[in-house]
Amino acid sequence: MLNGFRFQHPVEIRFADLDALGHVNNAVLLTYLESARIAYWLQVTERTGLAALDMILARTEIDYRSPLFFGESVVVGVRAISLRRASFVMEFRALERASQRLVAEAKKTLVYYDFTARESLPLPAAIRAQLFAQDPELREG
């Protein structure tokens, strides 16, 4: 169940995502979360293009709950759960789509970042407002 996740991103499993143990490789699951995070960010901040990816990943925690097999597919719920001056935490929940089986739960800390100046920046007020509008349960601190 993805209750509480207003943004949901589908991911198609590719044959190449499987490893020699016959399930989706653990590192590839992080690629799924990355795709979901970027889709969330572009939609919520109403922008397009690589230049809009103005954040860097500082930390990931992931709990693997069940393996993903060939022929299955995935949906990833994404939400922002807390935010500070220059950083924010996102939460992810990945389900196998047909069975709604829980596949993984994760949290990531992102830092708002200026790639030209190579330094972190305070989250602009407009983006803070967009994140709160998307995820009303988001809290400061």
CB of 100 to a second copy, least distance (A): 20
C-alpha span between 23 and 13 (Å, rounded): 10
**Residue 14 beta carbon to a second copy: minimum distance, rounded to whole angstroms:** 5
Q: Which x/- pattern over 92-121 shows residues binding a second copy (rule: CB under 8 A)?
A: -----------------------x------
- Measured in degrees and rounded to the nearest 5, phi and psi for residue 134 equal -70, -45
**Minimum distance from CB of 5 to a second copy (Å)?**
20
User: Rounded to the nearest whole angstrom, what is the least distance from the CB of residue 82 to a second copy in the complex?
Assistant: 17
DSSP string, 3-24: TT--EEEEEEPPGGGB-TTSBB
Is 61 a residue that touches a second copy (CB under 8 A)?
A: yes
15 by Cβ neighbours in 10 Å (0-12 / 13-18 / 19+) ranks as exposed
Q: Which amino acid is at 37?
A: R
CB of 56 to a second copy, least distance (A): 8
- Contact of 108 with 60, CB cutoff 8 Å: yes
Nearest to 66 by CA among 98, 102, 33, 26: 102
- Using CB under 8 A, which residues numbered 1 to 60 contact a second copy? 11-12, 14-16, 18-22, 25-28, 30-31, 34-35, 38, 48-50, 53, 56-60
Positions that interact with a second copy (CB under 8 A): 11-12, 14-16, 18-22, 25-28, 30-31, 34-35, 38, 48-50, 53, 56-64, 67, 70-71, 115
